[in-house]
Amino acid sequence: MAVHRYHGEDIHDFAWVTKPGFPRADARVRAPPLPARGDAPAVAAVDHAGQEDRHFDAAAATLINYGEWFGAYPYDNVTIVDPAFQSGAAA
């Protein structure tokens, strides 16, 4: 049995996803209302190969709408998770 301990500070939201060999894609989401510090780094754990750009485009559109409605997205990064079909994942 493995025991893993994690520590984080100033975390506003948390979700746990794990899968051996879960593919990962990295991008910088470009959305005009983001704070002056720059684009938000985005990580996508994508279980559907070839759909990374689709997920990053959706994140950028979401951040743009968020910025127009509420002001600039206040956090430094965005994590996108695309769970496997019928994995039992739910919000």
Using the CB atoms, write b or e for 61-80: b if 16+ within 10 Å.
eebbebbeeeeebeeeebeb
**Would you tell me how many other CB atoms lie within 10 Å of the CB of residue 19?**
11
Residue 35 — pLDDT band, cuts 50, 70, 90? low
The pLDDT-based confidence of 41 (bands split at 50, 70, 90) is low
Per cent of the chain over pLDDT 90 is 0
Tell me which residue of 83, 86, 71, 80 sits closest to 34, measured CA to CA: 71
Band of residue 65 on the pLDDT scale cut at 50, 70, 90: confident
- Report the C-alpha gap between 7 and 84 in whole angstroms: 27
CA distance 88 to 83: 9
pLDDT at 38: 46
pLDDT at 90 over 70: no
